[in-house]
Amino acid sequence: MPLPDTLGRPIRDLRISVTDRCNFRCTYCMPFDEYTWIDRHEVLTFEELERLARLFLDLGTQKIRLTGGEPLVRSNLDELIGRLSRLDSNLDLSLTTNGALLAAQAGALYAAGLRRINVSIDTLKPDRFKEMTKRGNLDEVLAGLFQAKKIGLSPVKINAVIIRGVNDDEILDLVDFARTNGFEMRFIEYMDVGNANAWSLDKTVTKKEILEIVHARFPVREIGRAHGSAPAVDYEFLDGAGEIGIIGSVTEPFCASCTRVRLTADGKLVTCLFAESGFDLKAVLRGGAGDQEIQEKIAAIWTGRADRYSDLRWERLSSGAGYRPRDHKKIEMITLGG
Ligand code: SAM
Ligand code: SF4
Ligand code: SF4
């Protein structure tokens, strides 16, 4: 097994946040206009990212997802896609985007080697879309979504965070839209990421609730988690019209199979989405360390990893012990990537 942590979890997936900037201000993610942005000189270059990615692959990582902030606001992202896809022909490379700049970039991303993509769309109502993203335009995002499909990206998945009283009336509309147009819907339980959103458990529409709503209208059968460790539990429609995934991050945590490591745009290595801090890998990298030294640092951090934040949160929530998100200072989602 490649590099087990203290709970026996291998280092399989690397999520790279290529920028902390975003052209949206989703209410559940980064609701404020201004943040303390990472200085441009602190952001890892494509050369640095390529080198680190190669070292992670040597350690057993098989999947890389590019995220942010909004990854498509990073200039020439296709160049990075090209560099990463050339590292290993078997690499499972993907990208999560809000889709606003996708129509213009889908062709270049595909030509550089990207084959699959996740586009975040929480609502199909233009006014609500504007309210939830503050700066987004639904038509532009839908144009990007369809362009991604036309260009040959497959699968094109749609990520939707479902928040009670905000967009929970659109679960079936989103499923219907995805089924009709050949996309794969992925619902995500609303989480208390970062420190800026106003999360409370009652706003989380649970995986069980989402499944019941979908199943009553479009019957499904459970397939399971991809590779046994993916965050989403996948279901196939009994009528053969594709699949959906539901990520029960809060109420059905999957820490026991969490093989994900994260790299922030300024090169911090973070072993959990809810971590308070990360290890400054950039300092090691820019300090002139050789490949072996960098790998030893990564290996030491991973093998010492004991993170299971969502398991512990659910233990407290479900036992009535109480859980106050603000008692835990976390790295913002925009810095970490989803
Ligand atoms: N900007 C890109 C996007 O929106 O797709 C990539 C970064 S975003 C942080 C990655 C994913 O995290 C998105 O699908 C987003 O919906 C999800 N996300 C953000 N805040 C969340 C929250 N509080 N709970 C659950 N998912 C969240
Ligand atoms: Fe930006 Fe994505 Fe966060 Fe929305 S979810 S604010 S698009 S990083
Ligand atoms: Fe992995 Fe941390 Fe999420 Fe658990 S809470 S699944 S350890 S990222």
The domain spanning residue 132 has which CATH number?
Answer: 3.20.20.70
pTM of the model: 0.97
Pocket test for ligand 1, best of 119, 120, 162, 262 (most atoms within 8 A of CB): 120
Find out whether the beta carbon of 191 lies less than 6 Å from any atom of ligand 1.
yes
Q: Tell me, what's the pLDDT at 338?
A: 62
Residue 1 inside a domain? The answer is: no
Pocket test for ligand 1, best of 70, 96, 140, 251 (most atoms within 8 A of CB): 96
Find out whether the beta carbon of 70 lies less than 6 Å from any atom of ligand 1.
yes
8 A C-beta contact, residue 169 and residue 162: no
8 A C-beta contact, residue 233 and residue 239: no
| Residue 337 predicted with pLDDT over 90 | no
3-state helix, strand, coil in the chain (%, to 5): 40, 20, 45
Phi and psi of 180, rounded to 5°? -65, -35
Residue whose CA lies nearest to ligand 3 atom number 6: 255
8 A C-beta contact, residue 16 and residue 66: yes
When pLDDT is cut at 50, 70 and 90, the band that residue 195 belongs to is confident
Find out whether the beta carbon of 305 lies less than 6 Å from any atom of ligand 3.
no
Range with lowest mean pLDDT among 11-15, 131-135, 276-280, 329-333: 329-333
User: CA nearest 98: which of 124, 69, 75?
Assistant: 69
HSE-CB for 324 with a 13 A CA cutoff:
2
Residue whose CA lies nearest to ligand 2 atom number 3: 29
Pocket test for ligand 2, best of 28, 98, 121, 163 (most atoms within 8 A of CB): 98
For the CA of 29, the nearest atom of ligand 1: 20
Q: What percent of the chain has pLDDT over 90?
A: 87
Find out whether the beta carbon of 17 lies less than 6 Å from any atom of ligand 1.
no
Tens digit of each residue's pLDDT (9 = 90 or more) over 152-194: 999 999 999 999 999 999 999 999 999 999 999 999 999 998 7
Residue 8 inside a domain? The answer is: no
Residue linked to tokens 């109502």: 125
Residue 5 inside a domain? The answer is: no
Residue 233 inside a domain? The answer is: yes
Q: Which ligand is nearest to the CA of 189?
A: 1
Residue 180 inside a domain? The answer is: yes
Distance from C-alpha of 208 to C-alpha of 314, rounded to nearest angstrom: 15
Strands (DSSP E) found in 191-305: 220-225, 233-237, 243-247, 260-263, 268-270, 279-280
Residue 2 inside a domain? The answer is: no
Between these two residues, 301 and 2, which has the higher pLDDT value? 301
Tens digit of each residue's pLDDT (9 = 90 or more) over 4-14: 999 999 999 99
**Residue 7: C-alpha distances to residues 10, 237, 305 (Å):** 9, 34, 8
Residue 266 inside a domain? The answer is: yes
For the CA of 98, the nearest atom of ligand 2: 7
> Collapsing DSSP states into helix, strand and coil, what is residue 195?
coil
> Collapsing DSSP states into helix, strand and coil, what is residue 223?
strand
Cα–ligand 3 centroid distance for 182 (angstroms) = 30
Distance from C-alpha of 223 to C-alpha of 297, rounded to nearest angstrom: 37
Average pLDDT (222-243) is 92
Q: Give me the number of domains the chain comprises.
A: 1
When pLDDT is cut at 50, 70 and 90, the band that residue 1 belongs to is low
Q: What percent of the chain has pLDDT over 70?
A: 98
- Give 169's DSSP letter: G
Instruction: Look up residue 238 and give its amino acid.
Output: L
> Collapsing DSSP states into helix, strand and coil, what is residue 128?
helix
Give strand pairing partners of 118. Answer: 96, 157
Q: Tell me, what's the pLDDT at 334?
A: 66
- Beta strand pairing status for 220-225 and 233-237? antiparallel
Instruction: Look up residue 256 and give its amino acid.
Output: A
8 A C-beta contact, residue 158 and residue 178: yes
Q: Tell me, what's the pLDDT at 327?
A: 82
Find out whether the beta carbon of 141 lies less than 6 Å from any atom of ligand 1.
no
Average pLDDT (235-260) is 96
Tens digit of each residue's pLDDT (9 = 90 or more) over 261-277: 999 999 999 999 999 99
Range of the domain at 204: 13-336
Pocket test for ligand 2, best of 123, 163, 334 (most atoms within 8 A of CB): 334
Phi and psi of 80, rounded to 5°? -65, -40
Tens digit of each residue's pLDDT (9 = 90 or more) over 100-128: 999 999 999 999 999 999 999 999 999 99
Residue 272 inside a domain? The answer is: yes
Cα–ligand 3 centroid distance for 256 (angstroms) = 8
Alpha helices in 86-226 (DSSP H): 102-112, 126-133, 138-151, 171-181, 207-217
Find out whether the beta carbon of 308 lies less than 6 Å from any atom of ligand 3.
yes
Which residues have CB under 6 Å of ligand 2? 22, 24-26, 29-30, 68-70, 98, 120, 334
Tens digit of each residue's pLDDT (9 = 90 or more) over 23-72: 999 999 988 888 889 999 999 999 999 999 999 999 999 999 999 999 99
Find out whether the beta carbon of 167 lies less than 6 Å from any atom of ligand 1.
no
User: CA nearest 337: which of 235, 261, 238, 232?
Assistant: 261
Average pLDDT (237-257) is 96
Average pLDDT (300-322) is 94
Cα–ligand 2 centroid distance for 87 (angstroms) = 28
Q: Tell me, what's the pLDDT at 85?
A: 97
